[in-house]
Chains A and B, each alone.
Chain A
């Protein structure tokens, strides 16, 4: 598995797209920091970008990589290798290289700016951790979609739809349900609603760390009580890990049964 991981990783490292991705974050970080001069503001803007863009790139990249390397995968399948190690290796290669672009691309300008002397270092690390989680989650979901769909166009379609659903439509439905049930106590529902969607969960985690919680009023108090404690943080990270583990298990099962 490690060998395949290494191969995928270096294959991607050599590809143009990782450089573009890396350069994009580098540029974003530099522009935000050196034009804005306010670290905490920059973190908020970055959050907006990360919440939307990281899942999108993860999904598209994952699907694309799977379809592109399909012939090579089939070649590998002819060798005496465990199927799970082939697919897991590829998956880890993709998500690791994407996360590395993210972490280095954003980390370098921040370190140059003097992040270690600043108090937002924890917010920033939280941002990077959730960004990495989101990469792993959405790449795994993308691999799932690609494994289940032979048709490339269909696969891409589903991948985009998945992103659209979790990033936008889910929030719309969530909002509607909150408004429809406004006569009932909603704190449990809203808590559950955020927990179920990894994008929402990451957003809420970062927002609460950035002390916007006072805006949230009564709901904020409940959220702060939940996410602000160590237990809440552990549960949130556990949920995020669950979002990684479940799709990965499905990759393993699916790849075992699939006919090539």
Chain B
């Protein structure tokens, strides 16, 4: 008897919780997203048919699934924020959101998730935005397959594509972000995964990390951003197989590391950046199997960088391989391939018999007096570089690659 009662009760609850489907279209009885959300029960699905909906300040405060069919347009008419999620378990899928308002006191976003868990935001297209997807104090969510196309002109009046703030365990995958201020911005966001994104032509950084620990970013492409990618004040970050390309300009770099500890940088490609990696105050970092191709400076070490290891990287045709501004060296360079290595390998084991000195005297001089760079490729510079190579006076004499490879590393 008791068992039957429990069963019936369970059935009844299941009936109550049975997810309904609510349709929204321009000619339906329910013609706005707001009305649909008001009518909906928890765990309902709202299907938005193709059309244009002029709405802003849409608040999703119940666990709902909102699915757009053939990309319905949600037009915020520049009046403010468009969608705000404050409930757990919300899914937003397949909307075309445009015209987010601009404010200098509030960060209006196309879609904001506030203090929620288990949200999924996918297949959105955002245009004419201030902030794109803003995730605030929310955990365990997924943001994927979104396309964010901004029209940012100046840094002060533009927002970020995807912003994570005090949010942990969020996966950001397969997004395209372009022409905003920072493509992807993480602040106080731990244990996040940033994967397979393409962030290009942004005003400031393709990816910006602040105070975020234990994150992984892999297989992303960062191209032609104003200043490249900045990773600052973070611990235990893993950066795998990313591509940093054409971040070219007087103040640009592929990647900026500042106060980063215990990170792993493996399998990345740095191609045609003014500075491949700019390192400042970063310790115990492993650089392995990276390609540095055609950069101005492959690696610029600014100071306070200890116990880093650079193993099995390829340094190909960079104007300067390493720039170093102190005489003290505590970093290890081993088994890299340097295209400007001129030594020999008598026993044919693939390892050059003469150690390679990656820091040229000229790069030391340029570090001290930047104006001297106009003497680049002058015969005199080649001569002093050669003499410094023979007997180092100014550059750290223990900064050597003892086992330079004679062939490009493959992995």
Contacts and interface: CB of A to CB of B under 8 A. Distances in A.
Interface of A: 41, 44, 47-48, 51-52, 167-169, 171-172, 174-175, 178-179, 182, 186-187, 189-190, 193-194, 200, 203-204, 207, 211-212, 214-221, 223
Most buried by A among B249, B251, B374: B374
Contacts of A190: 371, 374
B61 interface: no
Nearest to B372: A178
A58 to B, nearest CB: 16
A214 to B, nearest CB: 5
Given A51-B378, A190-B374, A215-B297, 9 more contacts: A48-B377, A167-B379, A175-B380, A178-B369, A182-B368, A200-B378, A207-B377, A215-B376, A218-B370
A47 B296 contact: no
Contact of B250 (A51, A175, A221): A221
B163 interface: no
A218 to B, nearest CB: 6
A172 B380 contact: yes
B78 interface: no
A223 to B, nearest CB: 7
B85 to A, nearest CB: 42
Contacts of A187: 371
B378 A203 contact: yes
B375 A47 contact: no
* Count class of interface residues, chain B: 20 to 34
Interface string B16-57: 000000000000000000000000000000000000000000
Contacts of B380: 167-169, 171-172, 175
Contacts of A215: 274, 296-297, 319, 373, 376
B6 interface: no
A204 B372 CA distance: 12
Contacts of B375: 171, 174-175, 200
Contact of A219 (B296, B373, B381): B373
A167 B383 CA distance: 12
Contacts of B381: 171, 175
A48 B380 CA distance: 12
Contacts of A179: 365, 368-369, 372
B377 A203 contact: yes
A168 B378 CA distance: 8
Nearest to A173: B380
Contacts of A44: 377
B252 interface: yes
Contacts of B297: 215
B144 interface: no
A220 B373 CA distance: 9
Contacts of B250: 214, 216-218, 220-221
Contacts of B374: 190, 193-194, 200, 204, 216, 219, 223
B378 A171 contact: yes
B377 A168 contact: no
A194 B248 CA distance: 25
Contacts of B383: 168
Contact of A212 (B368, B371, B376): B376
Contacts of B369: 178-179, 182, 186
Most buried by A among B250, B252, B368, B381: B250
Contacts of A52: 379
A190 B297 CA distance: 22
A179 B361 CA distance: 14
Interface string B361-398: 00001001111111111111101100000000000000
A208 to B, nearest CB: 10
Contacts of A169: 380
16 contacts: A47-B377, A51-B377, A167-B379, A168-B383, A171-B375, A174-B375, A175-B380, A178-B371, A179-B369, A200-B375, A207-B376, A214-B296, A215-B297, A215-B319, A219-B373, A220-B373
Interface in B232-260: 248-252
A110 B371 CA distance: 34
